[in-house]
Amino acid sequence: MTGLTLIAATGATLPDEPFRPRHLIAGQWCDSTDGATSDRMSPAHGVLVSRAARGGVAEVDAAVAAARAALPGWAATSGKARAAVLLKVADLIEANTERMALLECLETGKPITQARGEVSGAADLWRYAAALARAQHGDSHNALGPDMLAVVLKEPRGVVSVITPWNFPIWILSQKLPFALAAGCCCVVKPSEMTPSTTAMLGELLSQAGLPAGVVNIVLGFGQPVGSRMVSHPGVDMVTFTGSTKVGRAIAAEAAGSLKKVALELGGKNAQAIFPDADLDSAADAVVFGIYFNAGECCNSGSRILVHADVAEAFVARVVALSARVAFGDPLHPDTQVGAIVTPQHQARIHGYVQAAQAAGARVALGGAPLRIEGLAGDFYAPTVVTGVTADMAIAREEVFGPVLSVLTFRTLDEAIRLANDGSYGLSAGVWSENVHTCLEFGRRVQAGTIWTNTWMDGFPEVTFGGMRQSGLGREIGQYGLDEFLEVKSLVMRVGRTRANWVRG
């Protein structure tokens, strides 16, 4: 494919030996009782990156028992003591950035520079959660009458199962785990079977930071049986999950059996509406970033744009020209902006969406095919812009999870809002206009957990994040992210003997 910006293999030396992540249960690193392991090959380089212990029900049961045993002690620590540990973890994550970023890059196929940014962003999440650990408080009711006082306490929910996906392993774990710990919960963590390494590395850092044994336990393995047992186990009080809507639904159904609290961060089919009065240069750059970041394997991927018909042709031409300048290639090269697709099966799925859209009458304005990167065996997909998409096509409604942009057009604000809401997801959306009324109306009427206005995918630990509709339940990060892990209890107290007895006489 010509005209694209491709970066060939760097020839960098890859690790000779795979990393060997194991389970962390009650402060001890261990293999599975049956010795089972699973291998992860680098999607870009085709080398063995990690050989991880592959757990089962026995490991989950032991991990839940360890978390339950640790809970009274950890729940009783002060916010100050919890914060001290979280701050040490943040420092240790930063000190281990290179080691963690390399494994994250090799297991996911994402660029090394991006992986470094995510590791240091993760450290910042631990620091923010440390601040929240000290700032927690409930409410008091001092206007119930002179003889009454009530206080609303916030208590740790208990033992939490934390289940994460492969696309942002350390980042997503850090949106959950430090908040759960700040709240005083104990955890059993399962990373994706495809990306176990940085979660295990984090386990080492937790021990170095002085976190007591059993407060965080890690069980490696697949959704079945490990994830499933982490949901159904009667000793677990809450499940926090990030992943696909399909698995999220199965988890909610399984958790219903024991009425556990469930927090779900699921998929998205996020629309950005571009109005003719927008700063179109900034909008085009943000659209390109929004679709190619992490090769589109991102819940927040800006995979649908809605462009006003008056500017659609010129805007799409600008997006196509910019797309061709984005550097796709060896994730280990410092200039690479987009790396490999996570598995060959996923590559085929992405291509299937593009082919189906073409068959339904859409046009491919750029890309639309797998990409060969010189010197690398892995799967890459070309930057792809599909125009003439209509709202009924699968490519406009479902998560493609690849570097594939769908372009739809509109004529009125009402139509843009209708298109943005046309679908089952509600994770994020964006609006580009210099008119504050347009932006506010779009922001208020579109059903999504985050609405970006004249920007895309800016995130901050302070600003809560989560999905509406099929994109999830509950919120992460920010104050709301801590509250998810807290149970509320009302203490209602009579402070004087002023009430007449209920029983007369």
What residues are labeled active site? 265, 299
Distance of CA 329 to the CA centre of its chain: 24
Q: How far is the CB of 122 from ligand NAD (least distance, A)?
A: 14
423 in contact with ligand NAD (CB under 6 A): no
| Parallel/antiparallel/unpaired status of strands 370-371 and 380-381 | antiparallel
The whole-angstrom separation of Cα 301 and Cα 320 is 17
The whole-angstrom separation of Cα 318 and Cα 312 is 10
Q: How far is the CB of 47 from ligand NAD (least distance, A)?
A: 22
Place of tokens 């700040």: 182
Place of tokens 């189906």: 356
Binding mask 426-465 for ligand NAD (x = CB under 6 A): -x--------------------------------------
Q: Could you say which of 10, 42, 217, 228 contacts ligand NAD (CB under 6 A)? A: 228
Question: Is residue 213 packed enough to be buried (19+ CB in 10 Å), middle (13-18) or exposed (0-12)?
Answer: middle
Q: How far is the CB of 10 from ligand NAD (least distance, A)?
A: 27
The whole-angstrom separation of Cα 327 and Cα 348 is 22
The whole-angstrom separation of Cα 252 and Cα 256 is 6
190 in contact with ligand NAD (CB under 6 A): yes
What three-state secondary structure class fits 278? coil
Q: Which residue stretch of 33-41, 190-198, 311-319, 356-364 sits at the interface with ligand NAD (rule: CB under 6 A)? A: 190-198
166 in contact with ligand NAD (CB under 6 A): yes
Q: Could you say which of 59, 104, 118, 193 contacts ligand NAD (CB under 6 A)? A: 193
With CB under 6 A as the rule, give the number of residues binding ligand NAD.
31
222 in contact with ligand NAD (CB under 6 A): yes
Q: What is the DSSP annotation of 22-44?
A: -EEETTEEE--TT--EEEEE-TT
Q: Could you say which of 50, 192, 240, 450 contacts ligand NAD (CB under 6 A)? A: 192
Q: How far is the CB of 228 from ligand NAD (least distance, A)?
A: 4
The whole-angstrom separation of Cα 427 and Cα 451 is 9
Q: How far is the CB of 67 from ligand NAD (least distance, A)?
A: 17
Beta partners for 162? 189, 240
167 in contact with ligand NAD (CB under 6 A): yes
467 in contact with ligand NAD (CB under 6 A): yes
Q: How far is the CB of 324 from ligand NAD (least distance, A)?
A: 27
> Which helix (H) or strand (E) is 352 found in, with range?
helix 344-359
Q: How far is the CB of 424 from ligand NAD (least distance, A)?
A: 12
User: Taking CB under 6 A as the criterion, which residues in 233-272 touch ligand NAD?
Assistant: 242-244, 247, 250-251, 265-268
Query: How many angstroms separate the Cα of 65 from the Cα of each of 33, 55, 69, 341, 487?
Result: 16, 15, 6, 38, 21
225 closest CA partner among 190, 266, 261: 190
231 in contact with ligand NAD (CB under 6 A): yes
Taking the least distance from each CB to ligand NAD, the nearer of 232 and 387 is: 232
**Angle at 442 (CA atoms; ends 365, 449), nearest 5 degrees:** 90
Q: Where are the alpha helices (DSSP H) in 76-196?
A: 79-95, 97-108, 112-135, 169-183
Q: How far is the CB of 267 from ligand NAD (least distance, A)?
A: 4
Binding mask 378-417 for ligand NAD (x = CB under 6 A): ---------------------x------------------
The whole-angstrom separation of Cα 307 and Cα 289 is 17
472 in contact with ligand NAD (CB under 6 A): yes
User: Taking CB under 6 A as the criterion, which residues in 56-115 touch ligand NAD?
Assistant: none
Binding mask 326-355 for ligand NAD (x = CB under 6 A): ------------------------------
Taking the least distance from each CB to ligand NAD, the nearer of 247 and 364 is: 247
Q: What is the DSSP annotation of 166-191?
A: SSSHHHHHHHHHHHHHHHT-EEEEE-
The residues of the shown chain that bind ligand NAD, judged by CB under 6 A, are 163-168, 172, 190, 192-193, 222-224, 227-228, 231, 242-244, 247, 250-251, 265-268, 299, 399, 427, 467, 472
